[in-house]
Structure 1
Amino acid sequence: MLYQHRLVSTGQLHRLFTPHARRPVYLRQQLNQLRADGLIDATTRRSTRRGRAEHLWYVTAHGADAVAHDPTIPQRGYRITPQTAASQLQDHTLMVVDTGVVFVEWARRLGHECSPLDWVPEIAHRIRDGESRGLDDAFMIPDAVLRYTHTSQTGRRRMLSYFIEVDRATMQTSRLAAKLAAYARYQTYIPSTGLRGRRSSREAWRDHYPAFPRLLIVLAGASDRVLANRIQDLRALAAADPRVAQLTAGVTTLQLLQAKGPFAPVVTPLAGAPASTDAFLGPAGDTCA
């Protein structure tokens, strides 16, 4: 879990692995043992809400090497260091984990399927051929790719996949517009085969997903008024770009997801009517993605 998600708080681990326990005593014992073995370490975050420090856990280089020897675990090139664990990236990383925790908790409550390993942060998806000026130019990198299996009351199972984009109301609208455009480019990107400039016969995403994932933008870190304005800005950006309007995409807040769950009417579509919907982002009878 720590290898895949980079930085996770004790509270988040407790909610994911030992929610039945009132206090995470056993969890802390295991964390302290792993720390004593040199496999993981911790930094702290000062909580302004509760006024006390909270441990944030991550794998050490030794721990990452140990995980990498397991052939069943997807390899992650990114290695977190004590410096990055203590850096200003804390809040964003933890918010991505918080979003995943919401889906796991509501899946548990509703009888659906979503495990602590069913989302993966920052998977790069190529969106153009040839040389590039950098990652922003050649790749679309969602904050996470999340998979979720929904089971209806009639027993119908639907395998859903999401591109998760989190925004703490700190990103400039121009950057948001560029990120939305990158998702739209990936939806239609057909890679070159390398044979005299010939193109593949299908879009690149079809090699990884049974249907193009829904895009869910999760907002936090500001007042309700600021977040409501942010949602209006995002809808305006989508309306200004016909390609973005073709995405199955919506925006919500972390607070709404936590309080009501992803399958309550807590999501505002990026395109079309602004009426609230749920994380299906479409008619009740649409196809699985």
Structure 2
Amino acid sequence: MSVNPREAAGTARPAGLSRLAQDLLPALYQHRLISTSQLHTLFTPHVERPVYLRQQLKELRTAGLVDAIGRRTSRRGNPELLWYVTARGADAVASDPTVPRRGYRISPEAAASQLQAHTIAVVDTGVAFVDWARRLGHECSPLDWEPEVAHRIRDGESRGATEAFMMPDAVLRYTHVAEGRRKLLSFFVEVDRGTMQTSRLAAKLSAYARYQHYIPAGRRRGRLTTREAWRDLYPVFPRLLIVLADSGRVSDRVVTNRVQDLRALAATDPRSEQLAAGVTTLQRLQAEGPFAPIATPLCGDPAPTDVFLAPAGGSRA
């Protein structure tokens, strides 16, 4: 059964606002920057024109809880508005103890910066999962992905030990429902707009492989730690999905080369062989959905598969 996004997102509810306005605030707080069209898909997909949605955004803006800025790379006509919570709006959401606190709060300067396009591309990825979950009868709500979740990796116990953080662009959770069976999926999502250097991609892939096997040094309850750090956060190690977000504006050959580069990078680190990892394009994710053969595995057989990232005959655990 599909989750009603208003019920799923309805957490912080300042008095005097409509149900929709109350539901918009936590999503804007969590995802930082969202366009009007993205909010339309997430919260009012049942209407052709988001008139009421725009009215509620206007009321939130009048109340000083949200603000908006024009999109840097707008299409024809007036630039689309991108919405974010103000400091007052963030405080209103954070005052609800059921809402996870976010240390980072977007400023008007950051909303207008070059980070804008990448932030919107990450939201586009989450919106695609929500949209297809609704169509397929699965479950994924507007709050089921969280941007930039830090995962600590520390070498050694001394004060001088090297400490690093693996930080996916988003951690996304999705419930696949088929024949009465529910399968909880989680993903580390990396969005590449074609601007990431090859060396940086290599470092990211190596960090995921390293984190999968990372066991914190030290003791728990008097015993040496033998448990991987990720097990405290996830029932199984999340799949890694790399999304090429600007593929609609480049040739198929460029996309193919990017995929081949990613596979070559994964092959340089033996630890990557145990990652359930794949690469797709945002365009295909949006058009065909996550359970079409849209993803190329980064290791092993390059035959296209779905986001279970298991080739035909392989495990879909």
SS at match of 1:127: strand
SS at match of 1:138: strand
Which of 197, 215, 218 is equivalent to 2:240?
Answer: 215
Deviations 1:167-189 (A, max 9, x none): 00100000000000000111011
User: CA shift at 1:286, angstroms?
Assistant: 3.3
Distance 1:79 1:60 in 2: 8
Aligned length: 284
Contact 2:132-2:289 at 8 Å conserved across structures: yes
What residue in structure 1 maps to residue 310 of structure 2? 282
State, as a whole percentage, how many aligned pairs show the same letter. Answer: 71
Q: Does 1:86 align with 2:112?
A: yes
Which of 260, 269, 293 is equivalent to 1:241?
Answer: 269
Distance 1:50 1:107 in 2: 31
Contact 1:46-1:52 at 8 Å conserved across structures: no
Which of 292, 312, 317 is equivalent to 1:264?
Answer: 292
Distance 1:148 1:225, change over 3 A: same
Contact 1:5-1:120 at 8 Å conserved across structures: yes
User: CA shift at 1:49, angstroms?
Assistant: 3.5
* Further displaced range: 93-102 or 241-250: 241-250
Distance 1:220 1:226 in 2: 13
Distance 1:95 1:132, change over 3 A: farther
Query: So what's the TM-score if we normalise by structure 1?
Result: 0.93
What residue in structure 1 maps to residue 213 of structure 2? 188
Distance 1:21 1:77 in 2: 35
Query: So what's the TM-score if we normalise by structure 2?
Result: 0.85
- Partner AA of 1:98 in structure 2: D
Deviations 1:66-122 (A, max 9, x none): 111100001100010000000000110000000000000000000000000000000
What residue in structure 1 maps to residue 20 of structure 2? none
Contact 2:154-2:161 at 8 Å conserved across structures: no
Structure 1 unpaired stretches of 5+:
none
Distance 1:192 1:106, change over 3 A: same
Q: Does 1:98 align with 2:124?
A: yes
- Aligned CA RMSD, in angstroms, stands at 1.9
Q: Does 1:123 align with 2:149?
A: yes
Deviations 1:257-280 (A, max 9, x none): 011000000000000111000001
User: CA shift at 1:10, angstroms?
Assistant: 0.4
Distance 1:132 1:261, change over 3 A: farther
Distance 1:191 1:80, change over 3 A: same
What residue in structure 1 maps to residue 83 of structure 2? 57
User: CA shift at 1:285, angstroms?
Assistant: 7.2
Contact 1:190-1:199 at 8 Å conserved across structures: no
User: CA shift at 1:220, angstroms?
Assistant: 2.2
